[in-house]
Amino acid sequence: MNFYYITGTSRGLGKALAEYYLTEAPNNIVIGISRNQTVFHKNYEHFNVDLGDPSQVKTLHFPPHHDAKKIVLINNAGVVGMIKPMGQLTSEAIIHNFQVNLVAPAVLSNQFMKAYHDSNADKMIVNISSGAGKTPIAGWAPYCASKAGINMLSKVVDEEQKNAFGYKFRIYSIEPGVIDTQMQEEIRSASPEDFVRLTDFINYKIENQLAKPTLIAEKFAHIIRNPEQFKDVLFSVKDVVVD
């Protein structure tokens, strides 16, 4: 049996990933972690968790899977949050952004590794990163910083595994590129006074430069299926070619 824990399965890439794995093989079990359930299948289980609530995140526990061949955690859920320059953000917006984009994935990864440390299954953590984690974008300070944080968290875990634990867990932090999701709609609704790159993101939609979630899900599945092809912790799906 293969077990895939995926956060943010109610829409976008998370939902596309869940649906991909539910149709890929009859022995795949998908566990969605989000506030709302929009996926329904006999091999799907839903954990109703608000990742923006620390008390709910820290009480989530991963059950044992003694018959598992592969166990994967995909930290997909993310928010761009309030788009405004620093000095104009609310404290609540900053805290919520870091909670969803960095704190929740860090806590879940820690719990995941505790739960399956002794499992003989192939174990992997895939964090959804962003080009914003490497490139500063005015108006996105918390988002950029939280994605930079998830990149460094992934690199540290990889270093720990490589040096001390013989790669019991593989970990990646992968940029999915611009995808046609609700997040892009939220970005396009920003005020031009607060977001100098608004026109760029509007043009991504007009010029059909936004990738379909199903296509990106296929690329992520290829990575997870063929980890020996990907030695770096940080990279972009743009570098991935699916036959």
Mean pLDDT for each 10-residue chunk of the chain (243 residues)?
97 96 96 96 97 97 95 97 97 98 98 95 97 96 98 96 82 95 91 92 92 95 94 91 74
Do 142 and 94 touch, CB atoms closer than 8 A? yes
pLDDT score, position 242: 74
Catalytic residues: 143
How far is Cα 33 from Cα 216, in angstroms, rounded to an integer? 19
Write down the pTM of the prediction: 0.94
SS (H, E, C) 59-94: CCCCCCCCCCCEEEEEECCCCCCCCCCCCCCCHHHH
* The two structure tokens encoding residue 9: 């399965």
pLDDT at 134: 96
pLDDT of residue 182: 87
CA angle 14, 19, 60 (to 5 degrees): 50
> What is the reported pLDDT for 164?
72
Quote the radius of gyration of the chain (alpha carbons, Å): 17
State residue 165's pLDDT score.
67
The per-residue pLDDT for 4 is 98
For the chain, the structural domain boundaries read 2-177+211-237
Quote the CA–CA distance of 4 and 69 in Å, as a whole number: 11
SS (H, E, C) the chain: CEEEEEECCCCHHHHHHHHHHHHHCCCEEEEEEECCCCCCCCCEEEEECCCCCHHHHHCCCCCCCCCCCEEEEEECCCCCCCCCCCCCCCHHHHHHHHHHHHHHHHHHHHHHHHHHCCCCCEEEEEEECCHHHCCCCCCCHHHHHHHHHHHHHHHHHHHHHHHHHCCCEEEEEEECCCECCHHHHHHHCCCCCCCCCHHHHHHHHHCCCCECHHHHHHHHHHHHHCHHHCCCCEEEHHHCCCC
Rounded CA-CA distance 139/142 in Å is 9
Domain over 2-177+211-237 is classified CATH 3.30.390.30: no
pLDDT at 167: 73
Q: And the tokens for 97? A: 């952004």
